[in-house]
Structure 1
Amino acid sequence: MRPSESDRGGAFHDFLAAARRSRTLVVQPRMGFGDPVRMREGLIATKGAAATTVGTLTLDSFTRVGDFGSVERALSEGRCLNGYPIVNLGAHTTRAMLDGVCGRDFPLQVRHGSPLPGRIFDALIDAGIDATEGGPISYCLPYSRTPVQKSVQAWREACVKLAALRELGVEPHLESFGGCMLGQLCPPSLLIAIAVLEGMFFRQHGLHSISLSYAQQTSAEQDREAVLALHEIAGELLSDTAWHVVIYAYMGLYPSTVPGALGLVEDAARLAVRTGSTRLIVKTAAEAERIPSIAENVTALEVAAEAARGTDGNPPAPPCTGIKAEARALIDAVLDLNADLGKALVRAFAQGYLDVPYCLHPDNAGRTRSVISDRGHLEWSRTGSLPIGHLTPTHRAAQPTSAGLLHALSYVKSRYDDAELVVPGRPG
């Protein structure tokens, strides 16, 4: 007997839906360990943090690229992996590791980075996990040379597998990583467009519970405008879908000082609260040097939660610089290419309607560039074939040089590491 809609639910879906209704910020680490015992300890510590949290299984780099033979050799030789090898360890081990820790009061999400995620999806479903993340673009261009068309097909099949859980009464959840393209130097309108397009792709292939990401960039003011635009566009185009927005602490070159790193996390939490976002992925004070410890992850979670509790959730609206108009122009141009979103995405990259600055993937046209303006905003300096030329005059900023690119890459790190600088957008 098929369950009714009123009976349907998934641990992650239900937890985040409740958080969105209550306007509670959920904080989440980027945690993954190869040893199931240590992974369980990390989940227990995350659950016990002084914050509203969900757990994470971040997978190892061999699993992400489908090199399961190397995972097996590492496990047999007792070598450490840089994440949890969910495929090789098998469902029994993962279920035992999660038993008594994860459930409706503390759900779990698998994070991986694979453009070809079929076996990962099989493994997480077999282990009873109902939430993961990625996307056919956001997990293809930054991390691989896999053709976009091949990634789209693989993600189509993976979405159908995950969506099949609905027949069992489980509402699975899938997060688009589209708002984090390359971590930095991608102007906000393109981040919004890719996140929303991936969300629509997920919905087209049977998923009804999704989240849309946005990574903290170079300007708190610009980020607020961008995230509010993301909310508005999602409300317009995903109105028949349960969705929420997840903010990522800055994904680029990270501050190397503890005050600088944690100050950046605090500002990410403030951004989440000031934009009505539901979830925050934190980074730690150790990001610039090594894989963080469990204790460092917990500190970052608690610092973020404390900053969120002290932030006004109804600040004045930021000035409009046209981010929403640019994002809608990009999205609408892609939607006009084909009713099948997978085919539309492939064609969009072939025609340069989607083109990620500084991305070396063979299917990326590579004709766009961005710069950080004098006011600290991330802006287009070259739009290539993006359908936004009428909205975004490229004379606003000079064409980037190699020195300018190096400056841009270290822009956020330098600001937060220097305690004497007043960071724009941060409270004094």
Structure 2
Amino acid sequence: MELKNKKLEDELFNSIRQDVLLQWSTGNDVDFDEAVAYHKEIPKHKVFSDKLIEAKEQGNTLIQPRAGVALVDKHIELLNYLVNEGEADLLPTTIDSYTRHNRYHEAEEGINESRKAGRSLLNGFPAVNHGISLCRKVNESVNVPVQVRHGTPDARLLTEVTIAGGFTSYEGGGISYNIPYSKNIPLDKTIYDWQYVDRLIGKYEEAGITINREPFGPLTGTLVPPCISHSVAIIESLLAAEQGVKNITVGYGQCGNLIQDIAAIRTLESLTEEYLHKFGYEDVVVTTVLHQWMGGFPQDESKAFGVISWGAATAALAGATKVIVKTPHEAMGVPTKEANASGIKATKQLVTMLRDQQMVSISDLKLEKDMIMAETRCIVDKTLELGDGDLAEGTIRAFQAGVIDIPFAPSRQNAGKVFPARDNTGAVRFLECAHLPFTQDIKSYHHDKMKERADYEKRDMSFQMVIDDIYAIGKGKLVGRPR
């Protein structure tokens, strides 16, 4: 395996594909030409990329939940409930954990046990096991676009089956579905495997079928500074574009400070477009997604709705193309369909009310945007330098050097030396920059912001701030102040 940021040649792709399609029996049903013909018959209003482009042009924010259960009919029932009762604009099909780890025999057992129990005993939809025809049944049974959401380091067979099965959007990437999810999987392997995923989607594009791709924005989901998630999103977008992907949604996980979150969404789109154009990818459409708060939730349902509504307001004011919705039952485990619909409706209400309002361009917003862009460029440019211009090689070396360092990630490929915490206004800063390739001015800015909070709270700058901030929102606060 030679890892380079270069479009996979057909001979190599087809050689890999023979092995991929043999991983489970449903791979035998994949017929690329037939799948292309099937996609050409999908109505325009059910195509993810078309819906996103329309929303971007009109300045609307679309609403999308997370959801997935084991049995096909129950999954269809759930998705239709989220549209009819929850008023979702876009739908997910969240994949189960066994499938995410390519454990298809155990997924099959989970399907059988779920049938016996009459309810889902898996935490998602086992798409590979269900196969192409049943995936098509799901897509044909709803009237809005559906995306595959998962968390799979090796997602090649899942991509083959689900795209042939009529799904028009696919989430993930070789970094974002490895470092935050896995401990021992080599980064070069996942980037290589996801080159296959993106090349497959590039081949659909060449055949006239646009499949939306979405790198997973929130990463570890808690206190991830914008420049780190931006850098990963930009890198995964560039890797995808090289393989022929033309429609990309870059994501960001809400941190909670309104000014910082608005600045993050707006800079994410402009920076991604900047780097795509820099490398000659002029015809890639970029949209954005805000993930509502991914950290701990209050157990009290009313307080949870407050967190959800704050995320909805942030998405609308930032002008995100879509928002991924949480539910008031986040603190209690897998939500019911009723709770899921409630979260969607609360978000829909806020987004509708704020649709015609804009955040004024004030000095604080400009400063935040300038800082995020400067920090992100430091990381991405250093990554390119480490790879001598090759982004794939540079990414491996950047993780080895701590130039990219994702807070709280379990992967041994990740340095784990960066510590984020909130400043006195609740914006996420760096308590410890470690080996991030920042200028001295940027490092001083973060130090001063954290010192300001420490002085206000009359305590030393320490890791205790990080701990306090992780649990703060679950306790009804943004900043983890000492008692």
What is the TM-score with the length of structure 1 in the denominator? 0.90
The answer to whether residue 115 in structure 2 is matched with residue 76 in structure 1 is no
> Where does structure 2 lack aligned partners over 5 or more consecutive residues?
1-32, 452-459
Alignment of 1:192-341 (within 5 A): 192-239=230-277, 240=282, 241-311=284-354, 312-318=356-362, 319=364, 320-321=367-368, 322-338=371-387, 339-341=389-391
The answer to whether residue 438 in structure 2 is matched with residue 388 in structure 1 is yes
Cα deviations across residues 282-334 of structure 1 (Å, max 9, x unaligned)? 00001110211112111111110110111253221251141221112112221
Cα deviations across residues 353-411 of structure 1 (Å, max 9, x unaligned)? 10112323111112211122222121111112211142222533368655433311112
Cα deviations across residues 115-140 of structure 1 (Å, max 9, x unaligned)? 11111111112212121111111110
Cα deviations across residues 180-206 of structure 1 (Å, max 9, x unaligned)? 021012211111111122111111111
Q: Is the 8 A contact 1:200 1:238 kept in 2?
A: yes
Of 69-78 and 118-127, deviating more is 69-78
Please identify the structure whose Cα radius of gyration is greater: 2
- Residue from 167, 176, 181 that aligns with 1:143: 181
Instruction: Give how far 1:75 is off.
Output: 1.9
Cα deviations across residues 95-132 of structure 1 (Å, max 9, x unaligned)? 22332424xxx111000001111111111122121211
Q: Is the 8 A contact 2:82 2:88 kept in 1?
A: no
Q: Is the 8 A contact 1:264 1:416 kept in 2?
A: no
CA distance in 1, matches of 2:170, 2:443: 35
- Residue from 402, 409, 422 that aligns with 1:359: 409
Instruction: Give how far 1:56 is off.
Output: 0.6
Q: Report the identity percentage.
A: 26
Q: Is the 8 A contact 1:255 1:414 kept in 2?
A: yes
CA distance in 2, matches of 1:366, 1:377: 21
Instruction: Give how far 1:417 is off.
Output: 10
Q: Is the 8 A contact 2:252 2:289 kept in 1?
A: yes
Q: What is the one-letter code of the residue matched to 1:99? A: E
> What CA RMSD, in Å, does the superposition of the two structures yield over aligned residues?
2.5
Instruction: Give how far 1:416 is off.
Output: 5.6
SS at match of 1:212: strand
Alignment match, 1:426: none
Structure 2 vs 1, CA of residues 71 and 50 (structure 1 numbering), >3 Å: closer, same or farther? closer
Structure 2 vs 1, CA of residues 221 and 417 (structure 1 numbering), >3 Å: closer, same or farther? closer
Q: Is the 8 A contact 1:260 1:417 kept in 2?
A: no
> Where does structure 1 lack aligned partners over 5 or more consecutive residues?
422-428
Of 351-360 and 56-65, deviating more is 351-360
What is the TM-score with the length of structure 2 in the denominator? 0.80
CA distance in 1, matches of 2:66, 2:176: 17
Higher fraction of helix: 2
The answer to whether residue 408 in structure 2 is matched with residue 370 in structure 1 is no
CA distance in 2, matches of 1:385, 1:406: 21
Alignment match, 1:40: 76
CA distance in 2, matches of 1:34, 1:14: 29
CA distance in 2, matches of 1:12, 1:242: 12
SS at match of 1:392: helix
CA distance in 2, matches of 1:229, 1:415: 29
SS at match of 1:255: coil
The answer to whether residue 196 in structure 2 is matched with residue 157 in structure 1 is yes
Q: What is the one-letter code of the residue matched to 1:215? A: G
Q: Is the 8 A contact 1:284 1:292 kept in 2?
A: yes
Q: Is the 8 A contact 1:184 1:252 kept in 2?
A: yes
The answer to whether residue 59 in structure 2 is matched with residue 23 in structure 1 is yes
SS at match of 1:180: coil
Q: What is the one-letter code of the residue matched to 1:334? A: T
Q: Is the 8 A contact 1:370 1:400 kept in 2?
A: no
SS at match of 2:348: helix
Alignment match, 1:116: 154
SS at match of 1:213: strand
Q: What is the one-letter code of the residue matched to 1:371? A: A
| Number of residues of Structure 1 aligned to a counterpart in Structure 2 | 412
Of 332-341 and 370-379, deviating more is 332-341
Q: What is the one-letter code of the residue matched to 1:22? A: Q
Cα deviations across residues 68-107 of structure 1 (Å, max 9, x unaligned)? 12111222233611100001111122222332424xxx11
- Residue from 99, 103, 118 that aligns with 2:140: 99
Alignment match, 1:166: 205
- Residue from 63, 69, 77 that aligns with 2:99: 63
